[in-house]
A and B are shown apart, each in its own frame.
Chain A
């Protein structure tokens, strides 16, 4: 059992419904994050510098899907962290903020339908790539 407690921001809950087709994958990855949130996770940054994402972490669900979260013991040490919703929570708590695709193209279409289509077309591309290589 994980030593980390967990809470989920509303955005995470909404996206879990939106991306229902990958719910099991998301759940498995979230459990792995809770086992040790420092392993195989990355700090988050913003290429434009508009958002200050210091203190946030990201974990990969698959090629285009990611979890975003903070660890209370870590974000408490980052005074600039704007996403530290840890007031009243123990240090050993993970706050999952959101989950979803990081590809810009996904923002332009209906997310759930687009995700299913993308999974299918990605597999197709992989098959095509394999065929080209062999």
Chain B
């Protein structure tokens, strides 16, 4: 029995591009959809609003080392 040399199929650049293009388009499309899904808009807090004052208060307590975190059971009474 003679030794068989593996034959590597030759593909022209044009053919390779034709094969890869739809695949690349699909990958880019999926990545863009995923990116858009995780790209939220920005919500602006207005100074003087209760939420804004809360954020200032949290920062104050952080500087004083008085941040206190609670478990769900402590908050919802479960």
Chain A contact residues, CB within 8 Å of chain B? 6-13, 15-16, 27, 38-48, 50-51, 53, 56-58, 66, 68, 82-83, 85, 95, 97-98, 100-104, 106-107, 111
- Given A9-B58, A47-B45, A85-B69, residue A41 in contact with residue B50 (CB < 8 A): no
Residue from A44, A45, A50, A103 in contact with B49 in the complex, judged by beta carbons closer than 8 Å: A103
Residues of B within 8 A of A44 (CB): 42-43, 45
- Does B62 touch A at the CB level, under 8 Å? yes
Residue in A closest to B56 when the chains form the complex, CB atoms: A51
Q: With contacts A7-B71, A44-B42, A46-B44 known, what are 12 further pairs, Cβ within 8 A?
A: A7-B70, A10-B67, A10-B69, A13-B70, A42-B40, A43-B40, A45-B45, A46-B47, A47-B44, A51-B52, A82-B59, A102-B52
How many angstroms between the C-alpha atoms of A105 and B62 in the bound complex? 27
Residues of A within 8 A of B51 (CB): 66, 68, 98, 100-102
Residues of A within 8 A of B55 (CB): 51, 53, 56, 68, 83, 97-98
A42 touches B42 (CB 8 A): yes
How many angstroms between the C-alpha atoms of A13 and B67 in the bound complex? 12
How many angstroms between the C-alpha atoms of A48 and B48 in the bound complex? 10
Residues of B within 8 A of A6 (CB): 72
A7 touches B49 (CB 8 A): no
- Given A13-B75, A51-B59, residue A102 in contact with residue B69 (CB < 8 A): no
